[in-house]
Structure 1
């Protein structure tokens, strides 16, 4: 197929895939369009079968890891981990919405970093709704914190986000070095988000609330689940040192909790398969092949002319800003797939700058990340509407502040530690 025609076909199909993911007509899964689109670009010759196979092989371990983490997070919820988190937030808030916001920031940041952003969106957001209602507090500041931190707080570990896993592979860094370089940007971005949300929702936070009235015993802390998560994190480090894919550590942690849950009849094999979100995994694979077709047929060359070289502060800021812009135009997953090959030759610092952009940038628009789209659906299920204007105004304040702070922090980390 002619290169220009192949590029046009790939672009149209990418728009269709992303449009379906945003709108989800008739509640259909994202894969309904993504998988046929991938087959079309292969059948039409927009991408050689060998390249499609290479992309599938590259994404395979990442998709396997994502499935394992989704199952692990759901099993932690079944064990009562998120209910215990809600009780802790209610007690720690002491009736104060401002203190509740601090509790939400702490929990959402930790859960996002350890169990991935999907756990924060899918499992913590409903708990935050219930906790705010229990305290008589306005839910908006705390619920918005969940979606912003599901993106921003996913910077810390290679396992916190699907984009991180892709960047981790491209960076050539070890698990611990990745975390060391991203620790300061993670803290800086979260701090900026807190300052902006605290100011933006000042009226809601000043409205007051009633202290929680305990009518029942607080849920017990799920020690076994916490210990399993801790061992899984340790397994990520050991796997990185041994050169083993972290998907195996995630699978081991999920298997331990799954065997326990099945033995106690707290779950079923069907529920475990459902938790793995197989249609979403198929969507990721199909999307990756469509993006590869677009990259191969001209997008890579076009972006290569505008991606800054080097890892100086100006270059890092330029790469991060470009990544944030692209994430809001075509979604953060395609953006990272496109930009990583262009940034990798400049070194790990440039790869991490891409990650700052594609993780923080999506807080600007609904379509920036699939996590934000999923959060919006959950909010509507709780009979709360999210105004586009409010979401965008908050994003216009939070994204530049968090992205700027994170880039400065990354530049300092690279200067002190080295890439």
Structure 2
């Protein structure tokens, strides 16, 4: 098994980690999520009392922590469109947003939704079954979405006698597959969600394991908030026009910085017009700031009187390409197939344009990583390669370079439903013939 290193990180303030959980049916994912919440003291007293009462009614002597997610599962069964359950909790060291994604094969689209903004994916495996088809699918989707880190949680170690050899075999197979996908940062952890082994507290049953518990790793893993060297990308969400009185000369452009760092004095390009300008100032909640960093919501003021509208992109550094021809990998989300010739709306950051599906090149078999003939259509949960033609030019980065400005949605122009999620350019090495 390839050795992995664990970097302890002690932030001055509690940073935010977005992570997704994925696993096959009955691998114990609900119990693991419940154990994380329970052992990290993130469960309210009345919630725990309700779980204890429900467990007693079922004849169980100990609380069934999987019941902590049952309310969310019931919501899914009521037909929520994108049924990913989000949990928010915190420890003294870090804040967390957990995207709990369904395990069934027919819910690939839901994992795409949950993992699209994740910094890390926890893939759960039953130690008795090892790496199965769905495990490979979860790892492949995570790699496709460029989630930078993977955790292999080898669960139910109590049912295999905490056998080190079993854990090593599963970890070796999974890390080898992840390496084929181009994912090198994999940490494997042996645990029992039911018994609490290596979830929050170290286990006396795995004295052969010297790595972190799951919670230790989640608290300590480095989170890349976006490289300060990345080109700045600022999609304009709202134009603040000059007002009367004290604000009669104020004109700014509000939005959320997608990547990089933007500072007063920076030379920027407004796309798609191509106009050049200089950043005169940056305001955060009405107060001037020396810089704006990725994910901050700010207002940008420009020194020149240029024409800027909602949907425009203010870019510093190497400008993204401007094009009407979009080649991308899409995950189809809707029950109605996506077909060659379909007219759609393409929403990219804050800009929405009309588009047509010119070609569906192939469909990717996520289990074998092979390309298949799509026969001109993608069905729900399919991942495939498409070529689109837009009515207006878009400023696009490759998804591999920028997860925010390299992603888009395809929307039905008739009823406004989301049909597909797209990733611009060559998103991953896997899927090659």
Tell me, yes or no, whether TM beats 0.5: no
Instruction: Please report the TM-score for the alignment, with normalisation by the length of structure 1.
Output: 0.24
Bigger radius of gyration among the two: 2
**Structure number having the greater helix percentage:** 1
Instruction: Please report the TM-score for the alignment, with normalisation by the length of structure 2.
Output: 0.24
**Structure number having the greater strand percentage:** 2
